[in-house]
Amino acid sequence: TQLLEQSPQFLSIQEGENLTVYCNSSSVFSSLQWYRQEPGEGPVLLVTVVTGGEVKKLKRLTFQFGDARKDSSLHITAAQPGDTGLYLCAGQVRNTGGSNYKLTFGKGTLLTVNP
């Protein structure tokens, strides 16, 4: 069972376009993280959202956590080639007892921004 549904799986756009990546679940998350990963490197933490309804901005990236803490989105404005990479959402499901250290990952969104 995939706890975190991430979409789209692949996205190829032109420089300057906007895009949104979605992460949805039927489970409630204590917190949710977004990572970006470049080929051959480890994922880099972009943001953590904790509070339902929370919105965080990181330059041209806007992250939202759903009111019910079951979904999240990442919006990129005026994408640039440097934004190319694998975007991963990951979260901790509430009330998992000893598994609280486990991150549940979405399948990832492979973004290509063409110049």
Partner 1 sequence: DTEVTQTPKHLVMGMTNKKSLKCEQHMGHRAMYWYKQKAKKPPELMFVYSYEKLSINESVPSRFSPECPNSSLLNLHLHALQPEDSALYLCASSLKPPTYEQYFGPGTRLTVT
Binding residues (CB under 8 A) for partner 1: these are 30-31, 33, 35, 40-45, 48, 50, 86, 88, 90, 92, 98-103, 105-108, 110
Could you tell me the smallest distance in angstroms from the CB atom of residue 16 to partner 1?
25
Whether 77 and 18 have beta carbons less than 8 Å apart is answered as yes
Pick between residue 20 and residue 37 the one whose CB is nearest to partner 1: 37
Pick between residue 35 and residue 63 the one whose CB is nearest to partner 1: 35
Could you tell me the smallest distance in angstroms from the CB atom of residue 107 to partner 1?
6
Could you tell me the smallest distance in angstroms from the CB atom of residue 78 to partner 1?
25
Pick between residue 31 and residue 73 the one whose CB is nearest to partner 1: 31
Spatial distance between the Cα atoms of 60 and 8, rounded to a whole number of angstroms = 19
Total residue length of the chain: 115
Write the burial class of residue 84 (CB in 10 Å: 0-12 exposed, 13-18 middle, 19+ buried). Answer: middle
Q: How many C-beta neighbours within 10 Å does residue 71 have?
A: 19
